[in-house]
Chains A and B, each alone.
Chain A
Amino acid sequence: KAGVTQTPRYLIKTRGQQVTLSCSPISGHRSVSWYQQTPGQGLQFLFEYFSETQRNKGNFPGRFSGRQFSNSRSEMNVSTLELGDSALYLCASSLGAGTNTGELFFGEGSRLTVL
């Protein structure tokens, strides 16, 4: 069974540009969550999608957005990039919404560097 796939794995952008990251969850998983990981702030929750609907959103500015498609694949977009957006962006999938199913399956992440 294939795991969570994130693309691209690495990317470099300049300030002011925008970026789109993609996540393919494990087959059969309907929930996709996104986290930002930085050395200073650790892992911070961005948003969660379940059946194409955003269920939860973290405390990030509106420049960060996401969506989920009918096949459960998800994308997140960051517009008007800032230096502080440099981070590892992790996608996780699970069978159900929330955390009561007990486990999130993480991808290897997309490492974004903003110059």
Chain B
Amino acid sequence: AQSVTQLDSQVPVFEEAPVELRCNYSSSVSVYLFWYVQYPNQGLQLLLKYLSGSTLVESINGFEAEFNKSQTSFHLRKPSVHISDTAEYFCAAGRGSQGNLIFGKGTKLSVKP
């Protein structure tokens, strides 16, 4: 069965510091990977996605993630975080038209001044 593991439930970091949120997936077939962000009392918003092609994907607000097939990972990184990045981040995997998204348990990023 496909699963997604987010290794850290909470990540505290100071403003302007770099951050990495880790995500590993298990799958024996081709997989699509996503990062979603959830701000308090809101739904989930897509941050970035990997469907095919370049293994490094970027979002418009400075986050990036790299698909690593050999390590079955899709870690999210940002070189310098802002207070406004405080939110919960979810990694998810899908198998295209044959299935739904499977989410990790989430990582709460807390950016301190």
Contacts and interface: CB of A to CB of B under 8 A. Distances in A.
Contacts, number: 67
Interface string B24-35: 000000001010
Interface string A22-61: 0000000000010100000011110010000000101000
B100 A99 contact: yes
Nearest to A45: B100
A33 to B, nearest CB: 6
Interface of B is mostly: mixed
Contacts of A44: 103
Interface in A66-115: 90, 92, 96-100, 102-109
Interface residues of A, number: 25
B98 A42 contact: no
Interface of A: 4, 33, 35, 42-45, 48, 56, 58, 90, 92, 96-100, 102-109
